[in-house]
Amino acid sequence: MSRIVSSVAKRLSHVFHPWKSEFVVKCTQIFPTPISDKMAQNSLKTWLTQFALQLRQNIIVYCENTPRGFEKYFKNRNSKQAQQKSKSTDINRNKGDQSEQRRSTSSFRTRPTRQSKASSQQWSFGMFGGTRPSPDFRKSGPQKIVLYGICGLAGFIGSIAFFEMGHHEITWKEFHNDYLMRGLVDRVEVVNKRWVNVRLKPGATVDKAPSLWFNIGSVEAFERNLERAQIDMNVEPSNYIPVVYKGELQFSDLFAIVPSLLLLGLFVYMMKRSADMIGTRGRKGGGIFGVMESTAKLINSSDIGVRFKDVAGCEEAKIEIMEFVNFLKNPLQYMELGAKIPKGAMLTGPPGTGKTLLAKATAGEANVPFISVSGSEFLEMFVGVGPSRVRDMFAMARKHAPCILFIDEIDAVGRKRGGKSFGGHSEQENTLNQLLVEMDGFNTNMNVVVLAATNRVDILDKALLRPGRFDRQIFVPAPDIKGRASIFKVHLSPLKSNLNKPEISRRLAALTPGFTGADIANVCNEAALIAARDLSSSVVMKHFEKAIERVVAGMEKKTNVLQPEEKRTVAYHEAGHAVAGWFLQHADPLLKVSIIPRGKGLGYAQYLPREQFLYSKEQLFDRMCMTLGGRVSEELFFNRITTGAQDDLKKVTQSAYAQVVHYGMNERVGALSFDLQKQGDVMFEKPYSENTAQIIDNEVRALVDHAYLRTKELLLQHREDVIKVAERLLKHEVLSRDDMLELLGPRPFREKSTYEDFVQGTGSFEENTTLPIGLKEWNKEKAGQTSSTPREPPQSSNPSPPPSSPPPPPTQQPPSDRRTSRRTHTSL
């Protein structure tokens, strides 16, 4: 017993370190050696009661006085208690004389006493008194964890101590000689076939614990030995000691199942967490049963800061969207004429042209519910989630009708069906089928309009685009020069600048051919960032020019120092491009040429492409010659070639193949057009024979050779001009258009370089933003629109024209970049 108590005291002393010495001393005083088991048992019971009271008080002290290293778990406790203690001391000091006289009322004394005990009550009452913890205690999670951990550990060690105290292990010899031979055994219990509990007869007194036990090797051996012992004692078989077999749960059995319980708990926790991550995005609830719910969000118009006045450069598409909103607000305007609102519209076009921006403006302007969802949110890791979310989304739309439902990036779920059906592909098809069923099942009078946006309309399923689902396909192209000017006006308005913004927007529109709305927003933001970097008080034209160069050619790398030989090669390469383009009729006007490394290139030439949609054979050929100017210049002046012309040769090869294979501009191949293999696509078979392929290769090679010879003749003719431009580049590194005029004189061909030149002959200098007559008050509800019965149309009014048809698809352009051209060089 002394060994057991010492072991328990040692374990508890490690746990309750602040009163370790006191605990060990008490154990030594209570259990001196030697000591009998009976005395130890009675003394231990008495002392454990005292220890529980002492443990309670020590826990209170431990929680009030935070030990070193645990301050972060008990934030702002010591400071509050110090303030309360100081406040109590001051009150008692100031009222010391009066406290004795007012002992009966003690109003001043009672308040500080309660305050000083607040922190102790929130611990002690919760443990021993059964009172609920205070609100401050309920909020402190780390404190509860520490307290429960200490109490649980103390209870566990105490249970082990009580178990050891109430049971005494003996041997078979002791059992046989001291108990069995003396007739003190009432019965024996074989527990779990591993040990035997000895139950003594009533009235039998022993000095040891009331419960005795001993281990056995096997049940058969124990029964044989017990029977032999009773035979030796001449006991009649009818008076044999009863043997009871039973099973009990042990601590070792609990420890055996702890790993399994931990693994099960970890599995349940991970499943719950993964379900919450999937189920709570964009929904009111989560959990494993919330995965099947739709992630569609009901947008509040007050939370959207985009209006139709913030959308520019796509007036035709904006009018189409306004018409949808006008129908939901004023349906009788169309129903009186027998018109039906289109069930849906598909916004298509290149990236960055404003498709999602139009949807945001619709959500901000329309006074009807606007539901938004992304196409990628339908497909998750669980099978059947996609169709279930589609059903839930359309149920939400029907509930809030009239409303607008917007599906962004619908190509994630609307891809063409067919092909190899793997697991994810089959789930995508099921989701698409459910979407088709929901859209086709709409009632016309439900006043729900479905809008969708994608820049990959070519991969969408045909059944999704048929009339009755998406009746209209609204193409949002890259803006023309008028549209770019309007977009610049929108993005220039928040910038601090002393420039004439209408004038500067026109100038910038002329300098940014091929830019989309996203590119223009990036240019304006980069200009403001560059102005802030230079500590300028406002944004000036110089900052916009640097921003355009940053967006087109990349960041300027001043630390990338070229060797003198490489720098000279780059200078003559760019001079060849500049001179060849200067003296070719159909080449684009040159704006700037530089040999400062930017992005991946070691130099670049900036041109101003013309706004045109149709290209002739002569125009494409002149562009090829201008592109080959750098390679020809290296060969003429250094009698060697470098890897710097790799990007130029790639563009020339693509243009030559497009003329021969795609545009039918070759006499031998004839007026035939074949699909060109796109980069990254795998073509298993060519749409033409091997003989035709050989002819195509020969004609492409002949076309490129002809362009190379013509460029070589041109640069030999203007050899001195190339030298002058190259030497000026080596000296100043950057040449502008004015420098080129000084070195080469006026260009021998008429060119367009200003906004007025580009818009000449188009009818107006600004973008046409006039609304149709029926949309003049598109965002206002007209009187009588809430009536469910259509009115008779007035006789004097003229019927409004039908909605405009979708714009025709754009004419396919040759493979030339409308954006400002640039030349990149690959280092050796």
Catalytic positions, please?
Answer: 574
- Strand duo 734-736 + 604-607: pairing: unpaired
Report the alpha-carbon distance of residue 605 to residue 579 in Å, rounded: 11
Which residue in 480, 353, 501 sits closest to 764, CA to CA? Answer: 480
DSSP labels, 513-543: TT--HHHHHHHHHHHHHHHHHTT-SS--HHH
Phi, psi dihedrals of residue 276, rounded to the nearest 5°: -65, -40
The residue with tokens 């130029």 is 648
Listed in sequence order, the DSSP H helices in 341-384 are: 355-365
Strands (E), 584-692: 590-594, 604-607
Report the alpha-carbon distance of residue 740 to residue 718 in Å, rounded: 14
Q: Is the peptide bond preceding residue 402 cis, with omega within 30 degrees of 0?
A: yes
Report the alpha-carbon distance of residue 276 to residue 151 in Å, rounded: 33
Contacts of 630 (CB under 8 A, 6+ apart): 573, 574, 576, 577, 644, 645, 648, 823
Phi, psi dihedrals of residue 516, rounded to the nearest 5°: -95, 175
Cα torsion 751, 755, 756, 762: sign: positive
**What tokens were used for 516?**
């989309």
Q: Is the peptide bond preceding residue 806 cis, with omega within 30 degrees of 0?
A: no
CA 61 and chain centroid, separation: 48
Report the alpha-carbon distance of residue 627 to residue 814 in Å, rounded: 15
Residue 195, strand partner residues:
191, 215
3-state secondary structure of 598: strand
- Strand duo 604-607 + 590-594: pairing: antiparallel
Q: Which amino acid, residue 602?
A: L
CB 296 within 8 A of CB 371: yes
Report the alpha-carbon distance of residue 62 to residue 16 in Å, rounded: 9
DSSP labels, 656-694: HHIIIIIS---TTT-S---PPPPTT---SS-SS-HHHHH
Report the alpha-carbon distance of residue 357 to residue 363 in Å, rounded: 10
Which residue in 638, 633, 677, 637 sits closest to 658, CA to CA? Answer: 677
Report the alpha-carbon distance of residue 83 to residue 91 in Å, rounded: 12
Residues 520/526/530/531 CA torsion (nearest 10 deg): 60
**What tokens were used for 14?**
């490690």
Report the alpha-carbon distance of residue 431 to residue 379 in Å, rounded: 8
Residue 373, strand partner residues:
407
Contacts of 330 (CB under 8 A, 6+ apart): 781, 782, 785
Report the alpha-carbon distance of residue 352 to residue 582 in Å, rounded: 33
Cα torsion 755, 761, 766, 768: sign: negative
Listed in sequence order, the DSSP H helices in 400-469 are: 423-440, 462-465
Q: Which amino acid, residue 737?
A: R
